[in-house]
Structure 1
Amino acid sequence: MAIILFDDNAHQALLPLTYTRPVADLRIGILTIAEKWAKHLNTEYSFKTQPYLQAKYPQVSGVDDLYINGSVCPDDNLLEAINNLKTGEALKQSEFLIAAKAPIDAEFEKVLSYDSFFISLRHPEDIFSKNDIELRKDFRLLTKGRSSAEISSTNTVLGNDFFAEEGATAECSTFNTNNGPIYLGANSSVWEGNNIRGAFALCHNSQIKMGGKIYGATTIGPFCRVGGEISNSVIWGYSSKGHEGFLGNSVLGEWCNIGADSNNSNLKNNYAEVKLWDYTTQRFRKTGLQFCGLIMADHAKCGINTMFNTGTVVGVGANVFGSGYPRNFVPDFAWGGAQGFETYSLKKMFETEALVYPRRDNRVFDEVEQDIVKEVFALTESFRSVF
């Protein structure tokens, strides 16, 4: 049996973060949703996603496959219910399809009802607002029955929920696990003088530069380099926020870069509810949150001293720079800032990405990656019509 993680309408609701990936490839906690299911069920996984993404994220079908909604995070009760599914059966909560032991475009022999609570990502802000819960679950999953590698005696560790994988290093830093666990991935590095409060995860091959201040619930994905002040944020991987400046209640995709001394606001001056741009309605949507910062999609970048207002969404491949606050929705492949935008041409963007990719794990911005970006460029053309 293999897992096939399928997209539902959350793929649209989670834009722009899902323009470049299936929903199950979103990182929340320490692992991606797909990695969580594979670890729990001890099996391989593939994706049933948008056609233009399938070359990078293929669907591999076998015998008696298990289809799982890619927006759903596993927990013990849900795992038990799914493990009890028989061939031809589906598991739903009301009309929401959670999983099926049958192709999801077929008629199910039997539909079982699931009434317990579970975490499902339905909007971009869910990623940081539910990150604390998933961090704790993933920490238990990854460390159960294992012993932490030793780190330097120059560090101070408060509490007991600290775990370092082999190859992780840290010097002259403070790790406070009294409010949540702290996880250091393989070959990660915490430079001197950092103060880190859990829940927190630094994934493999990532670094925190000197003098950082990091609050829970924060995840730094693989092959990242960060510094400055970060609070309740998720950075997926291959991205940099390497300098001073505040990032709070935010999500950064892959291949992003935050310029030195850039900041985002996560609280409005009047303490009002924050709204976020919604791609499905093409208007700003109430989040129900008082704290909500920056949502930045893959390949987006900003120059030094950039100021992002509360609840700003930056689309795929955007490049933001200049003085003043850019507007709260920066369309995909926009080039500019508060003084105005023009279209960031694919030719120029591809030249940049060809230089960026080898800096992280010797990756290559290959034809598969380029084809995805080309498709997203076409899909988002209407948002740039206002330039």
Structure 2
Amino acid sequence: MNLIVFEDEAWRNFTQVTYTRPAYRLLTPSGLILDRIRKGFLGYEMYAFIRDYLAEFEKVREPSLRVNTSPSRDDGAVIINGLIKRSDIVFRLIEKTAGREFILLAGDRICAALLRGHRVSEIEDPAALTTLLKSMVGEVEALEAPGDSLYNFPWDLLEETPPTPPVSEPYQHDQHVVVLGRPEYVFIPPSCEIEPFTVIDARRGPVILGENVKVESGTKLIGPCVIGQDSIVYGGRVGPNVYTGPVCRISAEIEYTIMTGYSNKHHYGYIGHSMIGEWVNIAAGTTTSNLKTTYGEIKVKMGDKVVHTGRQFFGSVLGDHVRTMVDTTLMTGRLAGPFAVLSGVVVKNIPPFTGIDFQREMYELELEVELRVLERMMRRRGISPSERYLELVRKLYELTRSERTGVLGHKSDLP
């Protein structure tokens, strides 16, 4: 049996973080979407249908994943939307329908499907697959997905509650480390270093640390909270609902935020109800506003439309390689595309590869300068960017050029 994970057009609602990765690589409180899907379908041959410009780097990142390649005619195909919230509902449907073909709908979006192999054997891109699946409605059994089965916008990920992990042995901590709540909901590997005068609050949810995490004195970790491997917490109030990928640097106050990985928030400032990509550098004093002074609903401008979030709290979305200058303030619901450079008070969305100066004037960043900055930052973490990754960035610069129409000419912040 084959497993096909595909992107639908909803990836555009997450462009700040999906310009540089397939939608199924978004980090959620329960881990990467792709990893969650994979766990439910062990032993399946995995295929991915994604945007063309991401394909070559994705093949390097995960060679076992067959990208934009037609599956065999002889095997059936389980097809899952890369923005699915719970793939276990698909597995249960396969059992319930005894292997019959079906399409699982979530409103006007395709959530999942089970089809015979010959139906998808000529498909090689996500748009063609989506068209095929929609054309199959009426030809095979159409089912309606339960509840809110797909992610639609970034705030959907931020509000998700992670599953409670199996109860572990109570955390054996130093007498100078305080654990509030249930010690068996604290998951800290022996490789971690927890300095004295740390408070771990597991009253509202589990606190989970990856391997080799260091937590310095003066930190309060509030669950639910997951800190990725090789990260460092330098003090402050972290949580609730903070989820980071690997090799992050965290300090001061951060809550209700996903930080994808390799990002740096080492200094004072507040980040709340926000989504942070990879390789983001958040300078000292940077703050995201997440609540209007009217306590009203936050609206977010996405392209030419204004989206009503239905939420009282929502901060910002910062794409990969965004850098902020000291004391940057982002108003509620602001979006910054990959490689944006922010300063002052940010009152508008910032396109990819765009800087904003202290007079709130936007200017286009030079590609070659940004590539050199990228290499410098990654070397600080002992990583050299691959040529495929650099090529992806070059393609993205051209793909997003129209978004920078009307901004000022080049400026460089690289001496």
Task: State the TM-score, normalized to the length of structure 1.
Answer: 0.89
Is 2:90–2:112's contact at 8 Å kept on the other side of the alignment?
no
**Per-residue CA shift, 1:98-152, capped at 9, x if unaligned?**
222333436656334144224421112222133xx2x2x2x52xxx376577554
- Aligned-residue identity in percent: 25
Decide which of 382, 386, 392 is 1:366's aligned counterpart. Answer: 386
Equivalence for 1:8: 8
Map of 1:380 onto structure 2: 400
CA contact (8 A) 1:78 1:118 kept: no
Deviations 1:314-347 (A, max 9, x none): 11111113xx312321111112334112111110
More deviation, 112-121/332-341: 112-121
Query: Which whole-Å CA distance do the structure 1 matches of 2:169 and 2:87 have between them?
Result: 23
Instruction: Tell me which residue corresponds to 1:57.
Output: 58
Distance in 1 (alpha carbons) for counterparts of 2:78 and 2:168? 29
- The structure 1 residue matched to 2:334, chosen from 301, 306, 312, is 312
Flag the 1:30–1:221 CA change in 2: closer, same or farther, 3 A: farther
Q: Is the 8 Å Cα contact of residues 4 and 49 (structure 2) preserved in structure 1?
A: yes
TM-score, normalised by the number of residues in structure 2: 0.83
Letter in 2 for 1:227: S
Which residue of 2 is the match for residue 292 of structure 1?
Answer: 314
1:262 corresponds to 2:286: yes
2: CA distance between counterparts of 1:41 and 1:165?
A: 28
Q: Judge which range, 89-98 or 368-377, deviates more.
A: 89-98
Unaligned runs of 5+ in 1: none
Q: Taking structure 1 as reference, are residues 373 and 285 closer, same or farther at Cα in structure 2, changes over 3 Å only?
A: same
Instruction: Tell me the distance in 2 between the aligned counterparts of 1:299 and 1:7.
Output: 23
Secondary structure (helix, strand or coil) at the match of 1:57 reads: helix
**Residue of 234, 243, 247 corresponding to 2:267:** 243
Contact 1:82 1:91 in 2 (8 A): no
Query: Aligned partners of 1:373 and 1:55: how far apart in 2?
Result: 12
Which among 338, 353, 362 is matched to residue 374 of structure 2? Answer: 353
1:193 aligns with 2:218: yes
Q: Does 1:253 align with 2:277?
A: yes
Structure 2: where are the runs of 5+ without partners? 60-64, 121-128, 408-415
The correspondence for 1:123, drawn from 150, 153, 173, is 153
* Bigger radius of gyration among the two: 2
1:349-380: CA deviation from partner (whole Å, max 9, x where unpaired): 000111111333x3222221122222221222
Q: State the AA in 2 paired with 1:183.
A: I
Cross-structure match for 1:25: 25
Give, in whole Å, the separation in 2 of the partners of 1:78 and 1:64: 14
Question: Measured at CA, do residues 385 and 94 of structure 1 come closer, stay the same or move farther in structure 2, by a change above 3 Å?
Answer: closer
Change (3 A) 1:386 1:30: same
Please list the CA deviations of residues 13-40 of structure 1 after superposition, one character each: whole Å capped at 9, or x if unmatched: 2212211111110001141100111223
Matches within 5 A, 1:58-137: 58=59, 59-60=65-66, 61=71, 63-74=75-86, 76-84=88-96, 86=99, 88-102=101-115, 103=120, 104=129, 105=132, 108=136, 110-130=140-160, 133=161, 135=162, 137=163
Name the SS of the counterpart of 1:270 in structure 2: coil
Asked whether the equivalents of residues 36 and 87 of structure 2 are also in contact (C-alpha less than 8 Å), the reply is: no
Mapped to 2, the partners of 1:312 and 1:204 lie a distance apart of: 29
Aligned length: 373
Distance in 1, matches of 2:212 and 2:95, equals 35
> Which among 327, 335, 351 is matched to residue 355 of structure 2?
335
Residue pair 1:180, 1:198 contacting (<8 A) in 2 also: yes
CA contact under 8 A between 1:149 and 1:165: conserved in structure 2? no
Report the RMSD for the aligned CA atoms in angstroms: 2.3
Distance 1:80 1:150, change over 3 A: farther
